[in-house]
Amino acid sequence: MFVIMVYDIKEKRVAKILKISRKYLTWIQNSVFEGDITEAHFVKLKHELKKAIKKEEDSVVFYTFRTKDYTSREILGIEKGKSETII
Amino acid sequence: MFVIMVYDIKEKRVAKILKISRKYLTWIQNSVFEGDITEAHFVKLKHELKKAIKKEEDSVVFYTFRTKDYTSREILGIEKGKSETII
């Protein structure tokens, strides 16, 4: 399956969330990850994130697709995923 | 077409970006909009955003799909799109 993940996390927990997410997905932009992932890994990712976020303050949205069948991904402005400016 | 838009914008320009995006799409979470949009409106949206962002500092990612055919949208933590806590 293909997953697009968008997070909105309080700054103090961002590094932890990035570390978890990078094990499973590819970083695209400051708040976006995407990637092909198995169902089992997706369950693990959600489980790890659930433990790491504070559910009253943070938010993570997952869009899941059977395949990477979106027509296109376009970026306006900086293509952050290509640089290594991330903390 | 169906569009998922994720923005990463310097705070001082966020209000402007939200105002533009809300004319065309539905706000889902702090940095995410989605919605069905015509090709013509999508061109207008990108045009307006291009003028409003600073391309050296901001970033907007669009995923476009022929239809709203994603398998699911799941949210961990707060479902911000349902409240009106946005500025």
Q: Between chains, do A30 and B4 touch, taking CB under 8 Å as contact?
A: no
Chain A hits for B29, CB-CB cut-off 8 Å, are 6, 8, 59, 61
All structural domains of chain A: 2-71 (3.30.70.240)
User: What is the interface pTM, i.e. ipTM, of the complex?
Assistant: 0.73
pLDDT digits (tens, 9 = 90+) for B22-44: 999 999 887 899 999 999 999 99
Binning pLDDT at 50, 70 and 90, where does residue B45 land? Answer: very high
Instruction: Give the span between the Cα atoms of B81 and B73, in whole angstroms.
Output: 13
Tell me the per-residue pLDDT of A26-74, one tens digit each, with 9 for 90 and over: 998 878 999 999 999 999 999 999 999 998 899 999 998 877 766 678 8
pLDDT grade, residue A4 (50/70/90)? very high
Residue with the bigger pLDDT between B1 and B77: it is B1
Range in A6-10, A77-81, B8-12 with the lowest mean pLDDT: A77-81
Residue A33 near residue A26, CB atoms below 8 Å: yes
What are the backbone dihedrals phi and psi of residue B67, each rounded to the nearest 5 degrees, phi first? -140, 175
Q: CB-CB: which of B55, B77, B79 is closest to A78?
A: B55
